[in-house]
Chain A
């Protein structure tokens, strides 16, 4: 079955530094969505990527969809304490959305 893998599982970042989290699928995806879940909260939609090679930016967050539509990345620049939480990718294949296990981000002030 379709699997979406995310790495790393945990990311400990110094405030002000950059980091990237990666999402890989065993199958070609129709699109990919990214969600953020703050500690004790629920997932909140961030963005959706549909086209091969697509790049979208939201302030300090840059999202990419791979050329083969099998992988995606989220890059955060100048990390802030507000970036703390778990970031999930979710890939769509054959009308089924599969979530990765998430990357949990902690920030050292």
Chain B
């Protein structure tokens, strides 16, 4: 059963703590992405990776970090430097460069920081 998995679905953290969100895909896609979704603001790109061991900042990378050590995995760390971390986080993948190919999205992780 091919697809993208994100875990956990809901995550609660105290302010000041770093937290890592998991994203795994078995679609053999080269490109992977992290988006943040806030009410009324659509999807904003945090980081993207087009190949293993390489990634680029998106529009709102401050306070976030990523790694791409394996083709299948693209974890996102929300650091304590992110001022407003509470949001819905979506991971996506595509066969090639985003926008040229359709993106497949995971079910998302809803992060609440108090």
Q: Footprint of B on A, CB under 8 Å?
A: 1, 6, 9, 30-31, 33, 35, 41-45, 48, 88, 90-92, 95-97, 99-102
One of B42, B44, B90, B102 near A102 (C-beta < 8 A): B42
Q: Which of B42-80 contact A (CB under 8 A)?
A: 42-45, 59
Q: Footprint of A on B, CB under 8 Å?
A: 35, 40-45, 59, 90, 92, 97-100, 102-108
Cβ–Cβ contact A92 & B108, under 8 A: no
One of B35, B43, B59, B105 near A44 (C-beta < 8 A): B105
Of the A-B pairs whose beta carbons lie under 8 Å apart in the complex, a sample of 21, sorted by A's number, is A6-B42, A9-B40, A31-B99, A33-B102, A33-B103, A41-B107, A42-B90, A42-B105, A42-B106, A43-B43, A43-B92, A43-B103, A45-B102, A88-B42, A90-B43, A90-B99, A92-B99, A95-B97, A97-B99, A99-B44, A100-B42
- Shortest Cβ distance from residue A34 to the other chain B in the assembled complex, whole angstroms: 10
Complex Cα spacing A42 to B100, Å: 20
Cβ–Cβ contact B105 & A101, under 8 A: no
Given A44-B105, A45-B104, A92-B99, 12 more pairs with CB closer than 8 A: A31-B100, A33-B102, A42-B107, A45-B103, A91-B99, A92-B98, A95-B98, A95-B99, A96-B99, A99-B42, A100-B42, A101-B42
Query: Provided the pairs A48-B102, A92-B100 are in contact, do residues A43 and B40 lie with their beta carbons within 8 angstroms?
Result: no
